[in-house]
Amino acid sequence: MPEGFPPSGPAPSIRIMAGNLKEVRERIRSVQNTQQITKAMKMVSASKLRRAQMAIQQMRPYADKLDSMLRNILSNLDGGSDTVYNLERSVNRACIVVVTSNRGLCGAFNTNVIKAALRLIEEKYADVRKNGNLTMIFIGKKGYDFFRKRYRDIRLVNDYVELFNDLTFDNVSKVAGEIMHAFESAQFDAVDVAYGRFKNAAMQFPTTEQFLPVPKVQTESGDNNKRADYIFEPDQEGLLQYLVPSILKTQFQKFLLDTHASEHGARMTAMDKASENAEEMLKELRITYNKARQEAITKEILEIVGGAAALENG
């Protein structure tokens, strides 16, 4: 958090020399100005959060149902009607899509998403990275700013960091289509996404999901041969060529809408806490200021009394 903003933890105790009234007044003025900024940012984030929350809450049931249907269909296709998007290959080349925000001042939100991506690098794709075949695609500047300074052995792609400026399906589907084409052409053997899953304004969960190949549905016994009860018209192969890419693009947009709502929720919570800390600091500063004024007045009275006594004795 930039210098001048109250920290998100407990407000620090104020240690200012009681005699320096000017310094205390300047600190009070500075904290008041900062508090005005944090309150304004909280109000802006609350306004944006309402729209972002409505978007993800309306889309999530639809996207989750489509995702469930997609996994069920692709887990039970006939051999002749298979699609490339559920094709499991030996993972020699992998891609991690990191979805963070473009701006900070949202607590530990971006840090937690980055940590989730780091776990994928260190655990799931350690061998791929060692062979120099790991690619990271960034949506949002904060993730790219972190990795470009520390991971020079990984191919970093920052062509989509500004995608949050327009999260319409047409715009997002272009990026998803490029990633899907790269998987289809065997540029990547696996694609995972690290993003922030939104629950409410106070709770956001850093999450990683396998985007490609589409994970198969697991039954309770671990049997993957359960048949999906779907009837295809006009034909299964023609429908899948249109349906599967459309569902995958919808799923990808859900990742971004989740992160967008999580960002504003985290920022609103962080700014609310910063405003509370600023208020606590103001209380301590005002007490310190009043003590300093009282000491100055007492000192002046003592000087006057001492001078008068010296005149009487003289």
The catalytic site residues sit at 106
- Nearest one of 108, 7, 19, 9 to 289, comparing CA atoms: 19
* Amino acid letter for position 36: Q
- Within 10 A of 277 (CB to CB), how many other CB atoms are there? 22
Question: Would you say how long the chain is, in residues?
Answer: 314
| d(C-alpha 113, C-alpha 206), whole Å | 5
| d(C-alpha 161, C-alpha 71), whole Å | 29
Please name the residue ranges forming H helices in 120-235: 126-130, 141-148, 169-184
- The position carrying tokens 């690098």 is 121
* Amino acid letter for position 223: D
Burial 58-74 (b: 16+ CB within 10 A, else e): ebbeebeebbeebbbbb
Largest CA distance in the chain: 118
Burial 122-158 (b: 16+ CB within 10 A, else e): eebbeebbeeebbbbbbbbbbbbbbbeeeeeebebeb
Number of helices (H) and strands (E) in the chain: give both, helices first.
6, 5
DSSP, res 13? P
Contact 275, 42 (CB under 8 A): yes
